[in-house]
Amino acid sequence: MEKNVQSAFQFESQQLKTFAAEINRQRTRLHSVPKYRGEDLTEQALEDSRERNRKNLAIAAKEPYFGRMDFKETDQEEAAPLYIGKAGVSEGESGKAMIIDWRAPVASLFYSFTGGEEEVYYMAPEGMIEGDIFLKRNLVIREGNLQRVVDTYEQGQENAGAADEFLLYRLGDRKDNRLRDIVSTIQAEQNDMIRASRDTALIIQGVAGSGKTTVALHRLAFLIYEYREKMLADQMIIFAPNAMFLDYISNVLPELGVGDIQQTTFSKWALLKLGGRLKVQTADWQQWFEPGVNRAESGSKEPGRVKGSLAFLNAMDEALQLFIQNGLPQKDFEPWDGMVLKKKVIENWYAEEFRDYPAVKKRELISIKIKQWLSNELEKIWEKKVQKEMKTKAGQRLRAYMKSWPELDPLSVYRQLLSLESIRAQLSDEILQQTVNYLRKRVAAHEDLAPLIHIHLTLNGLERGERYHHIVIDEAQDFSPYQIAMLQKLSLKNSFTILGDLSQGIHSNIGIHAWEEIMPVFSEGKLAYRELERSYRSTMEIIEFANRVLSAAYKPAVLAKPVFRSGEEVTVTQEDDPIAFVKNWISERKAASASSLAIVCRTAKDGEEYFSELQKDGVDVHLVREGQEGYQGGISIIPIYLTKGLEFDAVLIVDAEAYNYQHAASDAKLLYVGCTRALHSLTVIFSKQASTLIPS
């Protein structure tokens, strides 16, 4: 065996040299071709192809491949070794595939095959291809050097555990500051999701650390490759919880050779769409996370839950349709005394001639139509002086007439709809009053954005090209059904990846409590629901601890199952001097070569306090604040509710007191989120009385 490993290593080292030389040769040749910048379409197409090659070769030069699979098609004599990398490369002369792109159909076998001697198959454009796998090999290449060769399957050999061993080796890596691609270790169930049909909205419920975000990003890369002519990166969009999180995940797509995908938060996107001078009220959010707040659970009457529901959407929809139908001024237009354009005629234009136009356009077209009618009538007046007088009068009366037509700006329409009985019936007096007060100041609560977008889309219709080719919604448990329904209107072919974890639903005042709440948004047969149960991020000890925290006050449908990666025990201690402890902890962790550390505080204010104490002592830390754009990595002081989606080598949760984390589902979820951020080490401290959520 030893000898086999040795010879496999030698063989692959030699192979690598050959591949690297060919890649270099092709790069040199392509770089010597001057870039074409002219107008000739054929030349432009050739240049585009060269540019694609240049990019692929640059990726391959860094790490040509990570896997090898020996596959024999049923009607072939011999198995052929297929090398699989992040980008496909063909041989310069023959054009034969030298390295297979991980997204190619045959590469799917590399991920889905988990052993067994039976025939396997994959779907190629030309149909089903059957065959046998003889070898599945993982290769680690860093900076051009082969570092590791692991055979995770060899026909006729005992292979148990080798795949997991390689996965553990990758998971055990210290992370730098950003999320990374996982092309070399995509798991079979993740592979299915990445390659799921493009026209289906895919909901992924996955436990903390199960790779949801990672899977969604790989799915985007897959779709762009698989449907290259039809699905364009710049027509795809990712919705994430905040700008810092977007920065944190920003390396993955470029690593996969994908650029140009729009990335935003729902508020930012909605404000841009609404265009006006509108502000979003965020203070309520901070308040929501104050300790001791009796946070709402299912069936709550929180404004976000009420205004985010599909019941509210339906009521709004009906009210909007009526508003548009009855939108016309209920009177004739009389440009001067004795001359009348009958209300019936205008109604006919509105309901028939301009039937297919959205309301804003109808208003515009009717104004033009009235002007045309006016100029015809004015031309019939021969006396120039009289004509001029009539023209002036008619102009004034037309302006007055148009003014009596309710303004079609989303904010003012929303305010008008809120005065209707059918809408008021949906809201409590308190919510109604609060909403009206905000809107008066041109301020919208977060949950008012979806109704405003609804009004905007209904009044203006959708422009050509405004629909997205694919929409990713990360942390979707914090979205309301209303928000998701609005995004659905904007999707071209129902192509969605919606991912989240109900156990991490820390915004239960606005988000969903069950996936069934959003399912009616999608038509039957256009929705798939999948679950991910294995957690890849944290050690077994951390996952087990976090599961106990969660289960203390919340009953999740599934608990995270760790991969078998054991590490140090989670420690919980009482500390009278937390600052001294934090300083000590930082030095110890740095000595243990952890590169990203988080000191997780209960509130933003607590974070400020720890930050100033540590800064006083010259400790090099940075504070993560709400609304912050960039993710710095290193040593972060961070309020617990902002840790969502992130991960750190070591996490220290401070002030885990009973009053900070009360015995309620909302607090259990919050603490669970904090605990599951840790990859290798988790420490929890309190000074007076520990939260009852913490296992004893």
Show binding-site residues for ATP: 206-213
Among 171, 319, 484, 518, binds ligand ATP (CB under 6 A): 171
Residue whose CB is less far from ligand ATP, 170 or 273:
170
CA dist 627 → 268, 282, 620, 624, 631 (Å): 11, 10, 22, 9, 11
Buried b (16+ CB within 10 A) or exposed e, 442-455: eebbbbbbbbbbbb
DSSP 8-state assignment for residue 461: -
Q: Which residue has tokens 């925290």?
A: 549
Tokens standing for residue 596: 């990203």
For ligand ATP, give the closer residue by CB, 124 or 188.
Answer: 188
Contact residue for ligand ATP among 62, 178, 180, 424 (CB under 6 A) = 180
Considering only 56, 213, 497, 508, the residue that binds ligand ATP (CB under 6 A) is 213
Residue 680 lies near ligand ATP (rule: CB under 6 A): no
In the range 150-169, which residues lie near ligand ATP by CB under 6 A?
Answer: 167
143: which 2 tokens? 């900076």
What span, in angstroms and rounded, lies between the C-alpha atoms of 23 and 5? 26
Tokens of 556: 């999740």
User: 């080796």: which residue's tokens?
Assistant: 169
Residues whose CB falls within 8 Å of the CB of residue 660, separated by 6 or more in sequence, listed in order: 291, 602, 691
Among 60, 208, 484, 637, binds ligand ATP (CB under 6 A): 208
Is residue 676 a contact point for ligand ATP (CB under 6 A)?
yes
Give the total of residues touching ligand ATP (CB under 6 A). 25
Shortest spacing between CB 686 and ligand ATP, in angstroms: 24
Residue count (the chain): 696
Residue choice 210, 263, 491, 683 for contact with ligand ATP (CB under 6 A) = 210
Establish if 596 lies at the interface with ligand ATP (CB under 6 A).
no
End-to-end CA distance of the chain, in Å? 47
Supply 133's token pair.
Answer: 């796998």
* Cα(500)–Cα(488) distance, integer angstroms: 17
Residue with tokens 């553990």: 168
455/597 with CB nearer ligand ATP: 597
Q: Six-digit token pair at 20?
A: 């690297």
Closest residue by beta carbon to ligand ATP: 211
Q: Site map for ligand ATP, 529-568, x if CB under 6 A?
A: -------xx-------------------------------
Q: Residue 257 or residue 410: which is nearer to ligand ATP going by CB?
A: 257
Cβ 510 vs Cβ 308: under 8 Å? yes
* Other residues' Cβ atoms within 10 Å of the Cβ of residue 577: 10
Among 56, 108, 185, 495, binds ligand ATP (CB under 6 A): 185
Nearest residue to 679 via CA among 172, 165, 163, 168: 172
- Taking the complex as a whole, how short is the minimal distance between the CB of residue 345 and ligand ATP, in angstroms? 59
Q: How far is the CB of 192 from ligand ATP (least distance, A)?
A: 12
User: In the set 195, 198, 212, 307, which binds ligand ATP (CB under 6 A)?
Assistant: 212
For residue 368, what are its two tokens? 């033009």
Q: Report the site for ligand ATP in 232-261 (rule: CB under 6 A).
A: none
Residue 511 binds ligand ATP (CB under 6 A): no
In the bound state with ligand ATP, the residue whose beta carbon lies nearer, of 501 and 657, is 501
Pair of tokens at residue 367? 């104004």
DSSP result, 377-410:
HHHT---HHHHHHHHHHHHHHHHHHHHTSPP--H
Contact range with ligand ATP by CB under 6 A, out of 58-66, 113-121, 203-211, 571-579? 203-211
Cβ proximity to ligand ATP, 444 vs 650, nearer residue = 650
Cα–Cα nearest to 565, from 532, 586, 543: 543
Of 165 and 617, the one with the shorter C-beta distance to ligand ATP is 165
Strand partners, 237: 262, 471
Give me the least distance between CB of 640 and ligand ATP, in Å please: 13
Residue carrying the six token digits 């390689």:
166
Cβ distance to ligand ATP smaller for residue 405 or 564: 564
| Closer residue to ligand ATP in complex, CB, 206/556 | 206
Site for ligand ATP, residues 636 to 675, rule: CB under 6 A: 645, 647
501 contacts ligand ATP (rule: CB under 6 A): yes
What is the footprint of ligand ATP within residues 597-636 (CB under 6 A)? none
The answer to whether 219 touches 546, Cβ cutoff 8 Å, is no
Q: Min. distance of Cβ 673 from ligand ATP in angstroms?
A: 8
Provide the binding-site residues for ligand ATP, judged by CB under 6 A.
167, 170-171, 179-180, 182, 185-187, 190, 206, 208-214, 501, 504, 536-537, 645, 647, 676
